[in-house]
Amino acid sequence: MITQVLAQKVLAAALETGGDFSELFLEDTESNSLSMMGGTVENAAYSRRHGAGIRVLKGTRSAYAHTADTSEEALIATARAAAAAIAGDERYSVKPFSANDCRKAPAIAAADIRNAQRVNWLRDAANAAKAYSPEITQTVTGLADVDQRVLICNSEGVFAYDRRPRVRISVQAVASDGSQTQTGRQSPGRGCGYELFDTVDPAQLGTEAAKTAVTMLHAADCPAGVFPVVIDGGFGGVIFHEACGHSLEATSVSRGNSVFCGKLGQQIAASCVTAIDDGILPGEWGTMGVDDEGTPSRRRVLIENGILKSYMVDILGGRRMGMEPTGSSRRQDYTYAPTSRMTNTFIAPGKDDAEEMIRTMGDGLFAASMGGGSVNPLTGEFNFAVNEGYWVKDGRILCPVRGATLIGKGHEVLHNIDRVGPDMWMSPGMCGSVSGSVPANCGQPRIRVSSIIVGGKGGAL
């Protein structure tokens, strides 16, 4: 992208006013998207993002500037613009670079795929959904790919390249009986090229989305109260991600805005709970070779057998906390300064039988698929929708239920988990925070929460 000689000049210019650390983030990203409604193409787009962001630190003060012009003159001017916000008496120099190249090309690049093939995949999904039931009245399908290429260098000697290809397909089916509608959705994605379709069948996704929509169309309203809840794997991990994961990021912890501040080494969850953030899982949605500060990505055990072991720490957060970075820094693109974020975050597999969880729960809810929600990272309070739920009576699944929400506090739910199954899987999503929207996996095995508030409009079943 640029030479080491020019990078040295830019980083030195950023230190001219007394900053003690400077960083240059260069990005060149290509992306394609295609969407269809009812089998008809609605939108097809190609975009390319190219630019650089420059950050200067002085202690825990930070200044950031960015530019779409990556010429030498523009980069040095941008470096000096960031430096203008920082003042100090000492002068720091740029250390010699140590190169780290993590670039890996996808097996099947986006440029190798014609739009006609993209259309065929989406039509296969839409046709399968429509064929499932005459009650499927609409389908919305989409396919997107991103190939992000970055160079991160800093005054501490980092000079790191990374390449991050990602592909995701989404299928939404709408079921209606004339008076009401329900939706089902499938949206797998991975950190790879179009080899994704070696293992993903669009027609199967369409069938599964339609099945959920039709099932929920004929479901009873969920009862409300305090019940045991079994939450299935994959996107079920969104509760840990939102209600607990964000509260373990230095973004919150370093400012005292987390319920888990000062609790390293303490019991914060049931002893059956181990939670991990792993940025090096091959081909996963949130995987990176290096983070967005150039620190090598790694596997971090956040909670081990219920004990808090680690936070997710970026450089600036680490300065505030007196901790080393953990390879957890991320940003949406070059227009954002980085901060600590999750990658592939999951509750690790346990040893409990998945069917026994339901057999021994009495009356309660089986949440087969979770939806979106909201959380307060300071208090851990959350509410999440259940996209596909089933009522359990006397340890047996009685019927599907709709309109369920799970309400609670993240730190309390961690203590109330009493079963963790052996099979873990993950689901991709886009996670928003102060450094923009980044791809992140949520995951877990099937788990059981012994007691949680269930919101719903139904009576006893």
Residue that terminates a domain, selected from 182, 217, 252? 217
Asked if 253 and 239 sit in the same domain, the reply is yes
In a domain, 46, yes or no: yes
In a domain, 461, yes or no: no
Overall average pLDDT of the 144-159 stretch:
98
User: Which H or E run contains 356?
Assistant: helix 354-359
Structure confidence at residue 128 (pLDDT): 97
| Closest residue by Cα to residue 147 from 109, 102, 196, 190 | 109
In a domain, 119, yes or no: yes
Domain count, the chain: 2
In this structure, the number of other CB atoms found within 10 A of the CB of residue 91 comes to 11
Q: How many residues does the chain have?
A: 461
Overall average pLDDT of the 180-208 stretch:
97
Residue that terminates a domain, selected from 156, 184, 217? 217
pLDDT, tens digit (0-9, with 9 covering 90-100), for 315-349: 999 999 999 999 999 999 999 999 999 999 999 99
Asked if 183 and 231 sit in the same domain, the reply is no
Asked if 185 and 277 sit in the same domain, the reply is no
Structure confidence at residue 322 (pLDDT): 95
**Rounded CA separation 332/409 (Å):** 28
Its domain, for residue 423, covers 220-455
Residue that terminates a domain, selected from 169, 201, 217? 217
In a domain, 124, yes or no: yes
pLDDT, tens digit (0-9, with 9 covering 90-100), for 107-126: 999 999 999 999 999 999 99
DSSP 92-155: --PPPPEEEE-----SS-GGGS-HHHHHHHHHHHHHHHHHH-TTEEEEEEEEEEEEEEEEEEET
Asked if 155 and 287 sit in the same domain, the reply is no
Asked if 179 and 54 sit in the same domain, the reply is yes
**Rounded CA separation 326/318 (Å):** 9
The mean pLDDT of the chain is 95
Asked if 340 and 409 sit in the same domain, the reply is yes
| Closest residue by Cα to residue 296 from 438, 26, 98, 439 | 98
Identify which has the larger pLDDT, 62 or 238: 62
Q: Which two tokens stand for residue 331?
A: 């940003």
Asked if 212 and 234 sit in the same domain, the reply is no
Asked if 121 and 33 sit in the same domain, the reply is yes
Overall average pLDDT of the 37-47 stretch:
92
Count Cβ atoms within 10 A of the Cβ of residue 305 and give its class: 0-12 exposed, 13-18 middle, 19 or more buried: middle
Structure confidence at residue 159 (pLDDT): 98
Asked if 168 and 201 sit in the same domain, the reply is yes
DSSP 306-364: TEE---B--HHHHHHHT----S-EE-SSTTS--EE--SEEEEPP----HHHHHHTS-SE
